[in-house]
Chain A
């Protein structure tokens, strides 16, 4: 069960357009964790990838659209739902 859910965890950077995911963890420093948190990106929140231009990604979180750079998207761990 545990390994099952661990297998589904991946960086947001690898999620394709249209997929629904749940935020598991932001693996970054306090500054980025706080900054993303204040924009609504907190553990457990659900989001959907709206756009992916190969670099930045646009996601829909809590009725807001937020654009995230590739580096940041790599630091956000999510699970598919």
Chain B
């Protein structure tokens, strides 16, 4: 059986834990206290033959290593070498959220970008050219509304595609 290791990174309240729960199905409380994910949360789920281990990293605004959360997130990505890093961006706060995603991309690790809360962005009149953003970042982008489960199956398909690319 194949094993894939992924880490979820993103700003506080971008929806990391919601996506983590949607993937692993574990019952965890997702609250609204900024920076509440200080502990390390791990989960496992199965995609056909593929077993995926997920780590929910603490919510941070950067990887500058100025706070314990930032040190945990940076050290995990650099030292544990996850096969894939999911960066979760709040589509309604794209400008601020891009900062962390770009920092993760600059580490040179494989990245899959989640554009979460696209419904909230749409309700604020924000429309995002996903294709152009994907080209600019050089990384695939999946649109999600994690709280409603929208885009989760596309995310799983993208993870499977990525894993197949690794073994092929």
Contact = CB atoms under 8 A, between A and B. Distances in A.
Interface of A: 31, 34-35, 37-40, 61-64
B96 interface: yes
A38 B64 CA distance: 9
A64 B64 contact: no
Interface string B37-65: 00000000000000000000000011010
A15 to B, nearest CB: 21
A30 B35 CA distance: 21
Contact of A38 (B92, B99, B126): B99
Contact of A64 (B67, B93, B100): B93
A41 to B, nearest CB: 10
Most A Cβ at <10 Å: residue of B67, B93, B95, B96: B96
Given A38-B61, A38-B99, A40-B99, 15 more contacts: A31-B66, A34-B62, A34-B64, A34-B66, A35-B64, A35-B66, A40-B95, A40-B96, A61-B96, A62-B93, A62-B96, A63-B93, A63-B95, A63-B126, A64-B96
A39 B61 contact: yes
23 contacts: A31-B66, A34-B62, A34-B66, A35-B61, A35-B62, A35-B64, A35-B66, A35-B67, A38-B61, A38-B62, A38-B99, A38-B100, A39-B61, A40-B96, A40-B99, A61-B96, A62-B93, A63-B92, A63-B94, A63-B95, A63-B124, A63-B126, A64-B93
Contacts, number: 33
A62 B95 CA distance: 7
Contacts of B93: 62-64
A39 B92 CA distance: 14
A61 B61 CA distance: 14
Contacts of A38: 61-62, 64, 99-100
A37 B99 CA distance: 10
Nearest to B34: A67
A35 B66 CA distance: 8
Interface string B61-101: 11010110000000000000000000000001111100110
A35 B69 CA distance: 12
